């Protein structure tokens, strides 16, 4: 929440290609911006094959006789087709898939509440309540177990910052970005926290259907498992189909995010110039080709012997990426506000202000650092891990850190500038800033509020 508000303020004032990477370059340090840009791009590049594989595995719920490579091929072709249409095609597909996900999650929440209260006749458990929080128990592995899921959680929350990445291609960022920014808290509360709370009350963590356990149905999603345990016919297949489409949606976003970040890096001279090419329809074709080529890594998963090992190392590259990205956004906002005041400007001149000011960014930065420390804690001392694999597990958990350091130091050597931060006095807060007629903006907002019906507002909030 703090991060997205900080990003919203920056993106409305500076709707530039590359968004938060560009803000790190401008307000923190070019070398750090270079490291954050390639860290973020690589994050999405290696996530794409994961999503394609996950989409293929969801098909196993219906038919496990077909090799997952067939489904990977089908889904990869779909992602290629969507991205070749351009940003308009990407937006239309995301809107349709997003609407389906909204309806499915809202439906699941309603079902979950009814099932938990004993209202589903086919569920032999009757009233469930929070019994699974005591048996088999919540926080089963204590504080260490709580810390161990931070990377997985950040992986799931990754993408909330895409609102800033799309700023340069938004028709009216002054209107659309603040609206999207303000809705993040409510969307996360509804679609993440409430839905996962309900899953936790309906499905015990030691259920034989979940990954890591043994049995014929271990590839079922926890959401699908909730329907299965309730004995409901038909709905598990419906929700599994929604999950399949959702994973394709994430794969689609992976390609968009990686190609636009690479494009911005190369336009600034921080990558091969050929990847900065954009055709007449606004498509960064070379950057798209590179991003989609990483999708071929999904076929590694077809090797049952070594596929999982290779994927584990690939994921380790992107495991901590979101913490670095979000922390950098918060710090860039703090530095921007200092430079903004240094140049004689006031917050009243900003077209959109972060709802929590700089203290929110300081808190957001601190929380991201705490997550990095927590992950270091479990990486250095992984309880119950044999000594022979402890070193391997440590590097798998923290590989993103040396990658960021290598990129940061490497660009320092290349540029010859060894200062830690760009001095506040040298930060340019005027070039690239979008000018606004505040009188016209306020009048337009007044008219919109008068014509904004409640049903339309609620539906727009959901979608």
Which of 381, 333, 293, 325 has the alpha carbon at shortest distance from 27?
333
Tokens standing for residue 460: 């727009």
Long-range CB contacts for residues 99-104, cutoff 8 Å, separation at least 24: 99/463, 100/242, 100/245, 101/191, 101/242, 101/245, 101/246, 101/249, 102/191, 102/462, 102/463, 104/239, 104/242
What pLDDT is recorded for position 218? 46
What pLDDT is recorded for position 336? 93
Could you give the CA distance from residue 179 to residue 403 in angstroms, rounded to a whole number? 35
- For the chain, which ranges sit under pLDDT 50? 213-218, 437-439, 441-442, 445, 448
Which of 293, 436, 414, 401 has the alpha carbon at shortest distance from 39?
401
Q: What is the biggest distance separating any 2 CA atoms in the chain, rounded to whole angstroms? A: 71
Could you give the CA distance from residue 18 to residue 20 in angstroms, rounded to a whole number? 6
**What DSSP character marks residue 453?**
-
Tokens standing for residue 242: 């929604």
How many CA atoms within 13 Å lie on the side-chain side of 247? 23
Q: What predicted TM-score, i.e. pTM, was given to this entire model?
A: 0.82
Contacts of 261 (CB under 8 A, 6+ apart): 18, 21, 37, 40, 41, 44, 165
The domain covering 2-462 belongs, at the CATH homologous superfamily level, to Amino acid/polyamine transporter I (1.20.1740.10)
Could you give the CA distance from residue 230 to residue 245 in angstroms, rounded to a whole number? 23
What pLDDT is recorded for position 258? 85
Contacts of 172 (CB under 8 A, 6+ apart): none
Which of 41, 34, 162, 39 has the alpha carbon at shortest distance from 422?
34
Give pLDDT tens digits for 176-190. 677 777 777 788 887
Which of 38, 1, 2, 4 has the alpha carbon at shortest distance from 18?
38
Residue with tokens 């996950």: 54
What pLDDT is recorded for position 202? 92
What pLDDT is recorded for position 410? 92
Burial of 310 (0-12, 13-18, 19+ CB in 10 A): middle
What pLDDT is recorded for position 362? 96
**Neighbour tally for 89: CB within 10 Å:** 15
Could you give the CA distance from residue 409 to residue 216 in angstroms, rounded to a whole number? 49
Segment (H or E) for 192:
none
What pLDDT is recorded for position 386? 58
Distinct helix (H) and strand (E) counts, the chain: 20, 0
What pLDDT is recorded for position 389? 57
The angle formed by the CA atoms of residues 76, 318 and 154, to the nearest 5 degrees, is: 100
The number of residues in the chain equals 463
Give pLDDT tens digits for 407-450. 999 999 988 888 888 899 888 888 767 655 444 544 554 554 55
Distance of CA 442 to CAs 5, 14, 195, 439, 454, Å?
20, 20, 37, 5, 21
Q: Are 10 and 25 spatial neighbours (Cβ–Cβ below 8 Å)?
A: no
């Amino acid at each position: 929440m703090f991060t997205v508000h900080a990003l919203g303020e920056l993106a409305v004032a500076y709707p530039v290609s590359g968004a938060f990477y560009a803000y790190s370059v401008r307000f923190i340090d070019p070398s750090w911006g270079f490291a954050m840009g390639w860290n973020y791009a690589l994050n999405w590049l290696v996530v794409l094959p994961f999503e394609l594989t996950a989409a293929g595995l969801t098909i196993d719920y219906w038919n496990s006789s077909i090799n997952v490579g067939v489904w990977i091929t089908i889904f990869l072709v779909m992602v290629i087709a969507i991205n070749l249409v351009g940003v308009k095609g990407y937006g239309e597909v995301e809107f349709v898939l997003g609407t389906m996900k909204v309806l499915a999650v809202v439906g699941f929440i309603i079902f979950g509440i009814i099932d938990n209260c004993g209202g589903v006749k086919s569920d032999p458990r009757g009233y469930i309540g929070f019994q699974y929080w005591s048996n088999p128990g919540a926080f089963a592995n204590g504080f260490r177990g709580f810390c161990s899921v931070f990377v997985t959680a950040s992986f799931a929350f990754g993408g909330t910052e895409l609102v800033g990445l799309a700023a340069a291609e938004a028709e009216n960022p002054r209107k659309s970005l603040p609206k999207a920014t303000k809705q993040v808290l409510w969307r996360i509360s509804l679609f993440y926290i409430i839905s996962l709370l309900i899953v936790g009350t309906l499905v015990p963590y030691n259920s034989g259907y979940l990954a890591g356990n043994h049995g014929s149905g271990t590839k079922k999603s926890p959401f699908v498992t909730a329907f299965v345990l309730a004995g409901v016919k038909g709905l598990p297949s419906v929700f599994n189909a929604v999950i399949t489409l959702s994973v394709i949606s994430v794969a689609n976003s992976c390609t968009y995010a990686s190609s636009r970040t690479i494009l911005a890096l190369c336009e600034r001279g921080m990558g091969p110039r050929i990847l900065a090419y954009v055709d007449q329809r606004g498509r960064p074709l070379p950057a798209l080709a590179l991003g989609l080529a990483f999708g071929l890594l999904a076929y590694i998963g077809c090797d049952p012997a070594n596929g999982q090992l290779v994927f584990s190392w690939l994921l380790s590259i992107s495991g901590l990426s979101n913490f670095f990205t979000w922390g950098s956004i918060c710090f860039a906002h703090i530095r921007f506000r200092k430079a903004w005041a240094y140049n004689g400007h006031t917050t009243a001149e900003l077209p959109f202000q972060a709802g929590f000011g700089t203290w929110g960014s300081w808190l957001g930065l601190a929380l991201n650092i705490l997550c990095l420390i927590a992950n270091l804690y479990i990486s250095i001392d992984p309880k119950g891990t044999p000594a022979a694999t402890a070193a391997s597990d440590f590097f798998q958990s923290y590989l993103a850190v040396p990658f960021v350091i290598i990129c940061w130091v490497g660009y320092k050597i290349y540029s010859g500038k060894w200062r830690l931060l760009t001095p506040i006095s040298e930060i340019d807060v005027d070039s690239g800033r979008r000018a606004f007629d505040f009188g016209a903006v306020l009048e337009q907002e007044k008219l919109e509020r008068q014509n904004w019906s409640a049903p339309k507002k609620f539906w727009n909030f959901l979608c």
